Chains A and B, each alone.
Chain A
Amino acid sequence: MPENKNNLQDKSAEIAAQTDAVSIHRKKKGLSRKSDRILLVIFYVFAGVFALLCLYPFYQVLISSFADETTLIREGYKLFPSKFSLDAYRTLFASDDILYAYGITIFTTVVGTFCSLIVTAMAAYALSGNKLKYRNAVNFFFYFTMLFSGGLIPYYILIKNYLHLSNNLLVYIVPGLLNVWNMFLLRNFFNDISPSLRESAMIDGANEVTIAFRIILPLSLPGLATIGLFTSLSYWNIWMESMLYMDDSRLYTLQYLIVRMVNSISAASSAGQSGLPTGVTSVPAYTLRLATAIVTIGPIVLLYPFLQKYFVAGLRVGGVKE
């Protein structure tokens, strides 16, 4: 069953290899017709505009988070606010909430990603190649969980009543240790490493450990980086666990602070519409909201350009990831 997928992934590996050759070809392709030139201009404009639209909200939120609160309320959101202020960030970091949440989230992300990569890589390595006689059965054992699940309630009862993970930081880390899809992605990476490399190393006297650490691991670095990025993102974005299992607000994650913030704003504005007094819920100031948003995306966006080259290569070789 996953062998079919392998085919597809082999194809995309070939595609990646061809990419460079194709781009050289494309450069040579001259432009002759007028209608073709017009179409090309439209394409450039379209790509440029869409790219700018993707960037715009980030810019707007970033610049407005540095705006002066009263100026922002009076003038609305401007491309360049007339008065700047750092008050929002001062208020933000003066409260314990965000600092605790930051600590919890960073801890969860770092420890979780590290442990998850180990568990995932171990399983993926064992399932790669044709080492195991029962690998198809094991593959199915994993694959089936992608097709069918017990649903939220049994899971909730498991965490709460059987594993007793409420109010425990492990509830953020342990349930995310293995993502089956990521494991199969990594397995395909390992499969793509030529077995002859391994055999020649064996002839030269290398043992399994040497092969794993000196050959397989360096060669699958793009794969590990891709999986590592996905995993760290999913740890960074955890919030439902805070809502369901945590009673102590000092154990909340950053994203949960945001979800609570949005929900209070949404509730207040719909209450305002339906005639109830708006003052029912305390709504954070405009610039404070924006500053919170900026602070929570910071690390991921800063990491992203460095990891991008890895994961684009990783995606192409490893197969499709939605």
Chain B
Amino acid sequence: MRNEVREEQLQGISASREADAMIPQGGGSGKRNIVAWLKRTDLVKNRWSYLLLLPAIVFIVIFAYFPMVGIIIAFEDYDPIAGMFASPLIGFENFRFFFSSSDWIQVTLNTLYLNTLFIGTGTLASLLIAVVLSELRRGWFVKVSQTLMTLPNFVSWATVALFSVAFLSTDGIINNAVSAMGGSAIPFYSSPDVWPAVFVIIRIWKGAGWGAIVYMAAILGIDESIYEAAKIDGASRLRCIFSITIPLIKNIIILMFIMSIGNIFKGDFGMIYPFIGDNSLLFPTTDVIDTYVFRALRSFTNYGRTAAIGLYQSLMGFLLVLFANWLARRYAPESAIF
């Protein structure tokens, strides 16, 4: 609303400016007309604002749109000497190569499986923390525990991976505890099956407290009189949580969910690579599209094939964002992103 009022005011101002610019039009010379027209265009009128935008636009053109043009590599037999625009085109040959190997199924499934796992467990954990913290009395306890819970979010994945070595190695903290209780040690760095669970736990440790902030803000925005009315009617705390809190923050949960669905094709390279690296024993469960592309980049010399995999991923990701948004429009219009 505010913005609309403002727009009218601004239009008022610019209208008077336009009137100034139009005065010489009566003179009739073509050159003058062009000058007057230029003066009226937004680019000139707001030149200082556009100048402020210029560095960002140049940056985006170079670092985001130029690589999009570079997608052409995926259809080429890329020759580094000839460059991006002079290499011979070979149609879908690079894609055929990727899709005829069994790798693509494995990395695609791993990416989808791990991300689904992370989204599900992460949302639940954050939600649980938000609900619990918002039920407690505001005070030093909530403040301190929230600070501690958000702290791990600020440590890099690389550092977390190094921390984890102390816990996961064969003589690490977990295995010491396991053998103290009489169990046999788990060789984490050579057992692929345990890694999805390990990642889930580490992600909850690192991100759940941070993720809870969004939900907490939403919960604190709920009208307190609803709770009071429910209490008078004899509702228990648990009942209030499930019948008031959760339904009323449903929209933000759906919004966060939809935003993560859009990213489901993006493997969390920043997390997985520091932990797994080139340890091929763990690939069966942890190799995602991003780590596959990264390794391919470092080992193959065939850029065309690697670019084809990247394009497959980008395209699927893009379609998923559109799909997620369509879902949002349909089932929770307030949560649609565009």
List A residues at the B interface (Cβ < 8 Å). 1-2, 4-5, 7-8, 11-12, 14-16, 18-19, 22-23, 25-27, 29, 33, 35-36, 39-40, 43-44, 46-48, 50-55, 57-58, 60-61, 64, 73, 76-77, 119-120, 122-123, 125-127, 129-134, 138, 141-143, 145, 147-158, 161-163, 175, 177-178, 180, 183, 191, 194-195, 199, 208, 233, 236-237, 239-240, 243-244, 255-256, 258-259, 261-263, 265-267, 269-270, 272-274, 286, 289-290, 292-293, 296-297, 300-301, 304-305, 308, 312, 315-316, 320, 322
Contacts and interface: CB of A to CB of B under 8 A. Distances in A.
B145 interface: yes
A290 B306 CA distance: 36
Contacts of A54: 148-149, 151-152, 205, 209
B175 to A, nearest CB: 9
Given A1-B338, A4-B338, A150-B71, A259 B297 contact: no
A239 B67 CA distance: 21
Contacts of A23: 138, 220
Given A15-B220, A27-B137, A158 B256 contact: no
Interface in B135-178: 135-138, 141-142, 144-152, 154-159, 161-163, 165-167, 169-173, 176
A301 B155 contact: yes
Contacts of A289: 162, 165-166
B166 A120 contact: no
B224 A26 contact: yes
B293 A152 contact: yes
A273 B70 contact: no
B50 interface: yes
Interface string B286-310: 0000100110011000010011011
A142 B150 CA distance: 30
B192 to A, nearest CB: 10
15 contacts: A8-B255, A39-B237, A119-B55, A119-B59, A126-B52, A150-B66, A151-B67, A154-B73, A237-B158, A237-B270, A262-B162, A267-B278, A286-B166, A290-B162, A316-B217
Given A15-B221, A47-B133, A304-B151, A151 B173 contact: no
Contact of B307 (A46, A151, A175, A266): A151
B276 interface: yes
A55 B148 contact: yes
A300 B52 contact: no
Contacts of B194: none
A61 B166 contact: yes
Contact of A308 (B46, B147, B176): B147
Contacts of A15: 217-218, 220-221
* Chain A, interface SS category: helix
Given A40-B136, A51-B145, A141 B57 contact: yes
Given A50-B129, A265-B169, 10 more contacts: A47-B145, A54-B149, A131-B49, A141-B57, A145-B64, A152-B297, A262-B277, A272-B170, A296-B159, A300-B154
Contact of A123 (B55, B73, B83, B252): B55
Nearest to B68: A150
Given A131-B46, A270-B189, A255 B156 contact: yes
A55 B151 contact: yes
Contacts of A73: 171
A239 B160 CA distance: 14
Nearest to B84: A157
Contacts of A191: 3
Contact of B166 (A64, A267, A274): A64
